[in-house]
Amino acid sequence: MSKYYMLLLLTSALWGGNFVASKLLVAHASPLTLTFIRWTIAVLFLFPIVLKKERSIRLQTRGIVPLIAMGLSGVVLFNVLMFQALRYTSADHVGLISTLNPMAIALVAYVVYRDKLTLRQWLAMIVSLIGVLIVMTHGQLHRLADVNIGDLWMIAAVIMWGVYSACAKAVMTSYSPLAATFWSGVFGVIGLLPFLSSFSVHDVNVSFSLALLYTSVGATVLAMFLWNVGVKRVGATTAGMFLNFNPLFTALFAYILLGETLTLPQWIGSFVTIAGVILFTKK
């Protein structure tokens, strides 16, 4: 069992490093361009994997509408908003705000599917939100009006991930997670084609190429594969706890590669946020 815990820890590290690699990318291209390139590469790598595992990549008419919605919300809007956020704020902040994903998923499911939320979950959301606000304001909550615009872009991205997950719930009755990821990626790439003429990349170098390969293959294809293996072996609840390591890996990699640091109030806010997420996801 311990080897699967290590796989899940590696998955968390891959996802945590994604924001650091993406921070390096935003200096070379627009969010639309980066999203298109990232997911085009990811789809090309996913194609043979899906073909081998599923024996077919046939598109079913019944699930096409929610698949398109997944592509537009999770592939296009989430990634564009995330890259936009990284143009203005730190990878540390983006990584921490992303921990609100489970709550965004639950809130959208509450609105769309009328899924119930317990009193503990509502309280946990308040705790995590307070933690994020502490980080965003550097511990000075009275300065909410001065919050970095990049942090707000990332909150919008988290909301889009909630929408993506709600659409995924409708898709999973007809598709496996692997096939759903592939087809949502395909529709996301297609949705970006009208903007192709505005795409541009400048100052391409080795670090840009490695960061792009990391986000496209390492943090998308490989991380998804390892995550599915981990969930299958230890269960979704146990696997989900490893997501709490994501912002810690982001902070570590951001410190090593970008020189980013968090102040003491921000560290306190980070742990308050993570505590709220653990409380929220606890069964």
The tens digit of pLDDT for each residue in 238-279 reads: 676 777 788 888 988 999 999 998 888 888 988 998 888 888
Among residues 80, 21, 3, 83, which one has the least CA distance to residue 257?
21
pLDDT at 146 over 90: no
**What residues contact residue 125 under an 8 Å CB cut-off, 6+ apart?**
103, 107, 276, 280
Greater confidence, 140 or 236?
140
Place of tokens 């390492």: 218
Average pLDDT over residues 85-109: 90
- Look over the chain and give the mean of its residue pLDDT values, rounded to a whole number: 88
The percentage of residues in the chain with a pLDDT greater than 90, rounded to a whole number, is 41
Note the Cα 192 to chain centre separation in Å.
19
Instruction: Decide: helix, strand or coil at residue 205.
Output: coil
Please write the tens of the pLDDT for every residue from 208-222: 999 999 999 999 889
- For the question of whether the overall pTM of this predicted structure is more than 0.85, the answer is yes
Structure tokens at 32: 């639309």
pLDDT band of residue 41 (cuts 50, 70, 90) is very high
pLDDT at 85 over 90: yes
**What residues contact residue 177 under an 8 Å CB cut-off, 6+ apart?**
224, 228
pLDDT at 31 over 90: yes
* Domain range annotation of the chain: 1-282
The percentage of residues in the chain with a pLDDT greater than 70, rounded to a whole number, is 96
User: Do residues 270 and 97 lie in contact, with contact meaning Cβ atoms separated by under 8 Å?
Assistant: no
Residue 283: per-residue pLDDT: 65
Task: Using only the alpha carbons of the chain, give its radius of gyration.
Answer: 18
Place of tokens 């959208």: 108
- Range of lowest pLDDT (5-14, 80-89, 167-176): 167-176
Residue 58: per-residue pLDDT: 78
Residue 236: per-residue pLDDT: 63
* CA 244 to each of CA 3, 9, 184, 204, 233: distance values in angstroms, whole numbers, following the listed order: 18, 10, 26, 33, 19
